[in-house]
Amino acid sequence: MSLNAHRCPNDHLTYPGHELCPDCGEEQTDTIDLSDETATVVTWTTNTATPPGVRQPNSLAIVEFEVSEAPSASESRTESDGDDSVRAIGQLTEDADVEIGDEVRPVYAEELRDPDAGIREKASQEWDGYRFEPV
């Protein structure tokens, strides 16, 4: 299992990936696995009124990964153009106590919510993924 950021030839990064890069419209040709990296908390919330099949309360965070890995793709890109960080959203691990700026790491979970309980068709998407745990 991996937590993949997607990269276009101009080194724009997104999580999740898209059909075409939202910044420049070129194809995203490369992935970077973030599952062994740490990230910084941009913001967080604890939701106490959660939809069917979702744990209650549900703490969530938007986190930012610095991407240090040397760009592997195009050599023609200008220095200032590419991204050196990418954001992701995810649940926080049980009883995690975080503040903005804290460091967290991804922890794999097989099932983030009950796929049979909500309105979304079970077969239409994945239900596993990464929670974030304070380092």
Partner 1 sequence: MDRVAIVGASMTAFGERDAWLRELLAQAGRECLADADAAPTDVEHLYVSNMASGEFEGQTGVPNALAHDLGAMPAYTQRVDQTSASGGAGVYAAWQSVASGASDLTLLVGGEKMTHRTTTEATDVIASLTHPVEYKHGVTLPSFAGLTARRYLHEYDAPRESLAKVAVKNHKNGLDNPHAQFRKAVDLETVMESPIVADPLRLYDFCPITDGSAALLLCPESLADEYAPDDNYTVVSGVAGATDTHVVHERDDPTVMGGAVESSEEAYEMADREPEDVDVAELHDMFTILEFLQSEAVGFFDQGEGWKAVEEGVTDRDGELPINTSGGLKSKGHPLGASGVAQIYELHQQLLGEAGDRQVDCEVGLACNVGGFGNCVTTTIVEEP
Which positions touch partner 1 (CB under 8 A)?
A: 14-16, 22, 42-55, 58, 60-62, 87-91, 100, 112-113, 118-120, 124-129
Specify the DSSP class assigned to residue 79: T
Residues 78-117 that bind Zn ion (CB under 5 A): none
**What is the C-alpha R_g of the chain?**
16
Question: What is the pattern of x (binds Zn ion, CB under 5 A) and - over residues 9-48?
Answer: -x-x--------x-xx------------------------
Q: Give the DSSP per-residue string, 6-32.
A: EE-TT--EESS--SS-TTT-----EEE
Answer yes or no whether residue 7 interacts with Zn ion by CB under 5 A.
no
Select from partner 1, Zn ion, none the partner in contact with residue 89, using the beta carbon and a kind-dependent cut-off of 5 to 8 Å. Answer: partner 1
How many Å apart are CA 82 and CA 77, to the nearest integer? 8
